[in-house]
Structure 1
Amino acid sequence: MQADIPARSAVVDLGSNSVRMVVFDGISRNPVPIFNEKAVLRLGRGLTTTGRLNEDGVAMAVDVLRRFHAIARGMNAHPFEVLATAAVRDATNGPEFVASLRHFMPDVPIRILSGIEEADHSALGVLCGIPEANGLVADIGGGSLELIHLDSDGRHDADTLALGVIRLSDRASGNVASAKAIADADLTGVQWLNDMQGKTLYLVGGAFRALARLQIARTNYPLNIVHYYTLNPQAARDMTGWLIQSNRRSLERLPNAPRKRLDDVPFAATVLRRLIRRIEPEKIVFCVDGLREGWYALNVAPELQMLDPLETVSRDMCTRLGRSDTLPDALIDWTGPVFSTETDLQRRLRQTACRLSDVGSHDHPEYRAEQTYMRVLWVQGAGFDHQARAALALALAVRYEAEPDTAPYLRTSRSLLDDDAFTWAITLGLTLRLAYALCGGTETLLDGTRLELISNQLCLHLTSARVAVRGDAVRRRLNRLAQAMKLTARLDEAPQVVATV
């Protein structure tokens, strides 16, 4: 590969319901997809009764994979691999189908994953997107449901069940009540699920994502992002009950309804409802990272998986969009005294905010606050749950002069954050606003200034070398920050040394 061609990699997920190819750009802690296309093939339709892949799906798959092969090669993707899952591994004509693919893609590895390998890839994908994940991963496809236990010691106790949405529908002859009994029987047979009681349930797979999209639309949830979307058990039970009882026409009326998934929804909802009954999870978290991201973590960037994804994405944005790679570390130290009682999570978010605090420097000044808010709220990347997105976006909008009481675009943060988190974000934003008034984005001018909490006062100290940076803007921003903290502002200026000749 020529040095001027960026490194790219591609993986095809050839499933029972659909085939999808993702091309990732570069080698980084957080996968960056630059091509993502899916085709619904229904390869697994009828497999339960015939034992064979759906013939119409096979014909479509050949055309789709020829296209994917041309695109991946045109984009110089390497490695490039096809991963086949439940339908291909279970069908009697699976080997024949794979041989036909190898005929026109002789240079592309085609791997038929076992159920345990599929579960392991999905678990790696969850860890790629949610590195602190601890609980049960459930990855639903068209042909199978993979279950695997994640904790701080690694991945354990994987199982695969014939509870994919197509397979379950076939087994139940399209009857949801029969599907409930089948799912209960299959899940009861997985003894290690007894140890998952009260753990977090992480949901992976297109059919589960469809449930989240429908619930987001139904409830007018303020952030249309599935990754990290979280429900408590009662909300999840309400959701699954609604989805099982709803007809297709009513679901189609919802904004952004995943129409190609609507026939699968009652069966995915049934599986989820039975899982919740089986393990009684503490909470349910949807994850968009699964098998494909697990493949990336295993084959493209394994040595980078120990990095903090939140820190990685914030450093990358700082480098691409900011003016200084060194100022953020100075800001982390400088803002510290204002947040002396912060939690570990707040410290991590404050550090992230400092790294992101200049990402709007090149935007139009009239729209800088709003642009920065949306950029952070909607950023693609791992490590951001919805409350973190809302808090960071709010803090950085305030840093760019947004007024929390009047700016209409801040409504998502108002909806997602409780009073304490909202106040914390505003305080952080005002602290960063004061810092940039002092330094103008240069680390040198921040040196020689410091904040200190003294009793009921917020004191800004300026050494003799930095007295010149004081001015009306600095005083106003110091007063605003002190007011937000319910303190009195104080400006402590060291006397300037006047040189004599």
Structure 2
Amino acid sequence: MKARHQAAVVSLAKGNVHDQRVAVIDIGSNSIRLVVFDGLKRAPATVFNEKVLCGLGRGLHSSGRLSPEGVELAVPNLVRFTALARAMGVGRIELIATAAVREAEDGPAFRETVERQCGHPVRVLSGEEEAELSALGVIAGNPTADGIMGDLGGGSLELVEVNQGKLGRSTTLGLGPLRLMESCGGDREKMRSAIDKAFSKVDWLSVGKDRTFYPVGGVWRNLARLHMEQSKHPLHAIHEHTISSGEAIKLARLLARQGKSSLAGLQYISRRRREALPLGALVLARLLRKLQSKQVVFSTYGVREGFLFNQLPEEVRRQDPLLVTVAEMSEREGRFGDVGEALMKWCDALFPEESEEERRLRLAACHVSDLAWREHPDFRAVQALRRVLHYPLVGIDHPGRAFLAYTAFLRYGAPADSKDARQAVAVLDERWRERAILLGLALRLAYRVSAATRWVLDHSGLSVDGKVLELKLPDDGSVPDGEAVQRRLKTLAQAGNFEDTRIVV
């Protein structure tokens, strides 16, 4: 990693961006949701998240108006959401509305009512704005996203081409589950025809062939959750959950044939979502068939995150969301602040040839290597493993997440073949497993030598002399050449296939 990039990461980690809490209230066709973020920054953490399924867009296609029952449910909940946000001390409260409010003839009246009762303006997004912000959300969570983003809401489907983190062509289609139910009733064949007809009018979808499709939206997140449960996927993070297009189509076709009663036994799918899930699955199956995508990568980032991302300065938007997050965590929770970069430099000699991505993940692993120091010694390794596996990280796929977690697990002295780590090891190939073992043992030695202090790390380190692994220690007596240091050095040397070790002062 270049020094300039590292400096930028540290700058962000130290809070040089606006860290006042921000609330985004998303008024959708099917649900309204309050999300409170910990600041307007590159990788904001979610402080609070609550939704209410109101169905504002139910009946809109035939009546041209918002659902009266939906309005009756939405308005008091929006008042409650804004009151909650104020009670939380949120600095900014943003209300955004999408397809239903945008298209309904009484949308302006609803907007005025909400603004009057909540005391905050409501920004009604155009279809183009909604598509752009959803795609920016995907890019915020995956800066190298390349393919087609699709955000399925209750009333509409936004499609946007993304090219290595840049926005391309876009369109908005009236293919949300609420719209399909109303226009086609329960006639699945009629729905297929309507979906295919809508896709046939978009002349640029062929660019999705053999690329990645990025699904966004609650219905499709539930489909990802269902796939993970059925396939017994080792990790339970929806973000960056990846499956082949063929596998996604197979599951989507199966779900499209189900009714609410068939899905009743799926406790991890909310009751209200069960009605929309088969229709969302139908749209996904027809879309993937049209796109001929290679794979499907789910995103938990969407229009709300894109809305915040769009307000960041360009230099902040360019930063690595993973490294920003882990550096902030380490600075906030480390015993003596963040020593991630010092730890990486300390063991550089063990990794003379590594790709940019390998170096990036090694730095991230160094940042998260001491998050469990407050735990009881008997449980530190498992707690570190679980926390990293389940923390809402972005800018990282599932194998990368498993690498970080397994490295942290080993750094606390857990055996490499422990059954506690099977969940993580299951998604690692042999090369990444070996890198995790080597780095975990190196970090274990580094913490023994330095006691997590930057000065000692800066005045010690590893070097390689042929087949000899050498450990340099400070000459001020701050680190005695003790049995524990020698033992950990020899263990590390064995893992790195070195023939001998040497300690120099």
The CA distance in 2 between the partners of 1:76 and 1:368, in whole Å, is 34
SS in structure 1 at match of 2:72:
helix
Identity of aligned residues (%): 39
- 1:411 is matched with which residue? 422
- 1:233 is matched with which residue? 245
Give yes or no for the alignment of 1:192 onto 2:204.
yes
CA contact 2:349–2:462 (8 Å) conserved in 1: yes
- 2:469 is matched with which residue? 458
The amino acid across from 2:499 in the alignment is T
The CA distance in 2 between the partners of 1:176 and 1:474, in whole Å, is 68
SS in structure 1 at match of 2:74:
helix
- What is the CA deviation profile of residues 83-104 of structure 1, one whole-angstrom value per residue up to 9, with x for unaligned ones? 1111111112222222222332
Alignment of 1:171-186 (within 5 A): 171-186=183-198
Return closer, same or farther for 1:115/1:449 CA change in 2, 3 Å cut-off. same
The CA distance in 2 between the partners of 1:326 and 1:75, in whole Å, is 28
- 2:231 is matched with which residue? 219
Give yes or no for the alignment of 1:109 onto 2:109.
no
Give yes or no for the alignment of 1:429 onto 2:440.
yes
- What is the CA deviation profile of residues 424-469 of structure 1, one whole-angstrom value per residue up to 9, with x for unaligned ones? 1111101111212222222333445432334444333457657963
Alignment of 1:336-485 (within 5 A): 336-406=348-418, 408-462=419-473, 469-485=480-496
The amino acid across from 2:437 in the alignment is I
- 1:69 is matched with which residue? 82
The amino acid across from 1:169 in the alignment is M
The CA distance in 1 between the partners of 2:35 and 2:83, in whole Å, is 13
The CA distance in 2 between the partners of 1:480 and 1:376, in whole Å, is 25
- What is the CA deviation profile of residues 319-368 of structure 1, one whole-angstrom value per residue up to 9, with x for unaligned ones? 11112346332221121111112221110011111222222222221211
CA contact 2:346–2:458 (8 Å) conserved in 1: no
Return closer, same or farther for 1:410/1:250 CA change in 2, 3 Å cut-off. farther
- Of 474-483 and 319-328, deviating more is 319-328
The CA distance in 1 between the partners of 2:262 and 2:204, in whole Å, is 38
CA RMSD, 1 decimal: 2.2
Return closer, same or farther for 1:31/1:302 CA change in 2, 3 Å cut-off. farther
Give yes or no for the alignment of 1:160 onto 2:196.
no
Return closer, same or farther for 1:59/1:254 CA change in 2, 3 Å cut-off. closer
Give yes or no for the alignment of 1:209 onto 2:245.
no
Return closer, same or farther for 1:58/1:472 CA change in 2, 3 Å cut-off. same
The CA distance in 1 between the partners of 2:457 and 2:236, in whole Å, is 38
Return closer, same or farther for 1:76/1:29 CA change in 2, 3 Å cut-off. same
Return closer, same or farther for 1:75/1:446 CA change in 2, 3 Å cut-off. closer
CA contact 2:235–2:424 (8 Å) conserved in 1: no
The amino acid across from 1:96 in the alignment is A
CA contact 1:10–1:24 (8 Å) conserved in 2: yes
Could you tell me how far 1:233 is from its partner in structure 2?
1.2
The amino acid across from 1:141 in the alignment is G
Structure 2, unmatched stretches of 5+, are 1-18
Give yes or no for the alignment of 1:151 onto 2:186.
no
The CA distance in 2 between the partners of 1:140 and 1:236, in whole Å, is 16
The CA distance in 2 between the partners of 1:8 and 1:470, in whole Å, is 48
- What is the CA deviation profile of residues 190-231 of structure 1, one whole-angstrom value per residue up to 9, with x for unaligned ones? 111122222211111111111111111111212222111111
Aligned residue pairs total: 488
The CA distance in 2 between the partners of 1:39 and 1:369, in whole Å, is 38
- 1:499 is matched with which residue? none
CA contact 1:395–1:425 (8 Å) conserved in 2: yes
SS in structure 2 at match of 1:384:
coil
SS in structure 1 at match of 2:43:
coil
CA contact 1:240–1:270 (8 Å) conserved in 2: yes
- 1:311 is matched with which residue? 323
The CA distance in 1 between the partners of 2:83 and 2:456, in whole Å, is 54
CA contact 1:47–1:91 (8 Å) conserved in 2: yes
- Of 76-85 and 431-440, deviating more is 76-85
Return closer, same or farther for 1:368/1:111 CA change in 2, 3 Å cut-off. same
CA contact 2:34–2:49 (8 Å) conserved in 1: yes
The CA distance in 1 between the partners of 2:460 and 2:420, in whole Å, is 33
The CA distance in 1 between the partners of 2:327 and 2:470, in whole Å, is 30
Give yes or no for the alignment of 1:242 onto 2:254.
yes
Give yes or no for the alignment of 1:90 onto 2:99.
no
- What is the CA deviation profile of residues 22-57 of structure 1, one whole-angstrom value per residue up to 9, with x for unaligned ones? 122233321222221111111111222222211111
The CA distance in 2 between the partners of 1:60 and 1:208, in whole Å, is 24
SS in structure 2 at match of 1:125:
helix
Could you tell me how far 1:302 is from its partner in structure 2?
6.6
The amino acid across from 1:340 in the alignment is P
SS in structure 2 at match of 1:491:
strand
The CA distance in 2 between the partners of 1:475 and 1:234, in whole Å, is 52
- What is the CA deviation profile of residues 63-122 of structure 1, one whole-angstrom value per residue up to 9, with x for unaligned ones? 1112112112223334322211111111122222222223323x3111211110100111
Could you tell me how far 1:250 is from its partner in structure 2?
4.1
- 1:296 is matched with which residue? 308
2:26 to 13, 16, 20: 13
CA contact 1:83–1:113 (8 Å) conserved in 2: yes
CA contact 2:37–2:48 (8 Å) conserved in 1: yes
Structure 1, unmatched stretches of 5+, are 1-5, 495-501
Could you tell me how far 1:289 is from its partner in structure 2?
0.8
- 2:40 is matched with which residue? 27
Could you tell me how far 1:255 is from its partner in structure 2?
4.8
- 1:48 is matched with which residue? 61
The CA distance in 2 between the partners of 1:343 and 1:67, in whole Å, is 50
- Of 438-447 and 361-370, deviating more is 438-447
2:152 to 117, 130, 140: 140
Return closer, same or farther for 1:93/1:367 CA change in 2, 3 Å cut-off. same
CA contact 2:145–2:165 (8 Å) conserved in 1: no
SS in structure 1 at match of 2:225:
helix
Could you tell me how far 1:249 is from its partner in structure 2?
3.8
